[in-house]
Structure 1
Amino acid sequence: NQSESSVWLTSYVVRILQEATFSEWENFIYIDPKIIEKSVRWVLKHQTPSGAFYETTWSPDRKYNDSLNRPIDKINYRGGFIQPNISLTAHVLIMLQSVKELTTHLSADVSNAQARAIQWLEQKMKILEDYGEPFERAIVAYALMKSRSPLAEYAFNNLVKIVRRGNGMAYCGRERLPDPPTKTENQRPFSLARLPYKYDAENIEATAYALLVYLERRDATADGMMNWLNSQRLTDGGWASTKDTATAMKALIDYTANQRIRDVSGLQVQVEATALNGTPPVLSINDKNRVRLQNINIPESWGSVKVEAKGAGYAVLQLSIQYNVDIAKFQTPPPVQAFDMWTRAFFYGRNHSHIAYTSCSRWTNLNESERSGLAVLDVAIPTGYYIQQQKLDSYILSRRVRNLQRARYLDTKVLFYFDYLDQEETCVSFTVERWYPVANMSKLLPIRVYDYYAPERFNETIFDASSTYQL
Structure 2
Amino acid sequence: GYQRELTYRHNDGSFSAFGVSDRNGSIWLTAFVLKSFLQAKAFITIDEQIVDRSVEFLLYKQNRDGYFVEDGHVFSKSMQGGVADGKASLTAYVLIALSFDYDLRENLSKTGKLEKTIELLAKRLEKSDDVYEIVLIAYALHLNEDRMKNLSFEKLRKLATVKQDFTFWRTKNLNEFDSNAVEIEITSYALLTFMLRNETENAISIVRWLIARQNCKGGFHSTQDTVIALQALASFAEKVNSENINLNVLLTTNLGETKSLRVNKSNSIALQEVIFDRSTRLITIAANGFGTAIIQISVQYNVLRARKVDFNLKFNFVSKTDSTIKFNVCVNA
| Pairwise same-fold verdict (TM > 0.5) | yes
Please state if 1:39 is matched with 2:54: yes
Separation in 2 of the partners of 1:123 and 1:173?
A: 23
Distance 2:248 2:185 in 1: 32
Deviation for aligned residue 1:290 = 0.8
Distance change in 2, residues 1:123/1:253 (3 Å): same
The answer to whether the 8 A contact 2:109-2:115 is kept is: no
Specify which of 278, 284, 287 is matched with residue 309 of structure 1.
287
Q: Which residue of 1 aligns with 2:31?
A: 11
Give the 3 Å change call, closer, same or farther, for CA 108–322 of structure 1 in structure 2. closer
One-letter amino acid of the structure 2 residue matched with residue 245 of structure 1 = T
Give the Å deviation of 1:302.
Answer: 4.3
- Equivalent runs, 1:326-345 vs 2, <5 Å: 326-328=304-306
Question: Aligned letter for 2:64?
Answer: P
The residue aligned with 1:92 is: 94
Distance 1:286 1:100, change over 3 A: closer
After TM superposition, list the pairs within 5 Å mapping 1:3-152 onto structure 2: 4=22, 5-22=25-42, 25=43, 29-55=44-70, 56-58=72-74, 59=77, 60-67=79-86, 85-99=87-101, 107=107, 111-128=111-128, 131-133=129-131, 135-152=132-149
Task: State whether structure 2 residue 169 is matched by structure 1 residue 172.
Answer: yes
Give the letter for the 1:272 counterpart. Answer: T
Structure 1 residue ranges without an equivalent (≥5)? 68-84, 176-195, 330-471
- Give the aligned residue type for 1:172: W
For residues 112-136 of structure 1, give each alpha carbon's deviation from its aligned partner in whole angstroms, at most 9, with x where no partner exists.
43112112212312331xx312x22
Letter in 1 for 2:93: H
Given the superposition, is the C-alpha separation of residues 249 and 262 from structure 1 closer, same or farther in structure 2, using an over 3 Å criterion? farther
DSSP 3-state at the match of 1:285: strand
Separation of aligned partners in 2, 1:267 and 1:157: 36
Alignment of 1:171-250 (within 5 A): 171-174=168-171, 199-219=179-199, 220-250=201-231
State the Cα RMSD in Å. Answer: 2.7
TM-score scaled by length of structure 2: 0.74
Q: Secondary structure at the match of 2:38?
A: helix
SS at structure 2 position matched to 1:61: helix
| Structure richer in strand, relative to its length | 1
- Structure 1 residue 289 corresponds to structure 2 residue 238: no
Counterpart contact for 1:96–1:110, Cα < 8 Å: no
Alignment length (residue pairs): 278
Greater RCO (Cα-Cα under 8 Å, separation 6 or more): 1
- Aligned counterparts of 1:92 and 1:2: Cα–Cα separation in 2: 21
Supply the distance in 1 between the matched residues of 2:116 and 2:148 (Cα, whole angstroms). Answer: 14
User: 1:2 and 1:21, CA in 2 relative to 1: closer, same or farther beyond 3 A?
Assistant: closer
Closer/same/farther in 2, CA of residues 40 and 110 from structure 1, 3 Å limit: farther
Alpha-carbon distance between aligned partners in 2 of 1:263 and 1:109, rounded to the nearest angstrom: 35
TM-score, scaled to structure 1: 0.54
Which of these two proteins has the greater Rg computed from alpha carbons? 2
CA distance in 1, matches of 2:205, 2:135: 16
Q: Separation in 2 of the partners of 1:40 and 1:301? A: 56
Name structure 2 gaps, 5 residues minimum. Answer: 1-16, 308-333
Distance (whole Å) between structure 2 residues aligned to residue 110 and residue 200 of structure 1: 39
CA displacement at 1:288 relative to structure 2: 0.8
**2-structure distance, mates of 1:94, 1:8:** 11
Question: What amino acid does structure 2 have at the position aligned with 1:319?
Answer: I
Q: Identity, % of aligned pairs?
A: 28
1:307-456 → structure 2 map (5 Å cutoff): 307-328=285-306
Q: Comparing both structures, which one devotes a greater share of its residues to helix?
A: 2
Q: Matches of 1:117 and 1:299 in 2, distance apart? A: 57
8 Å contact kept, 1:137–1:159: yes
Q: Over residues 425-454 of structure 1, what are the superposed CA-to-partner deviations in whole Å (9 max), with x where a residue is unaligned?
A: xxxxxxxxxxxxxxxxxxxxxxxxxxxxxx
Structure 1 Cα separation of the partners of residues 138 and 232 of structure 2? 14
Q: Would the alpha carbon gap of residues 100 and 147 (structure 1) be closer, same or farther in structure 2, given more than 3 Å must change?
A: closer
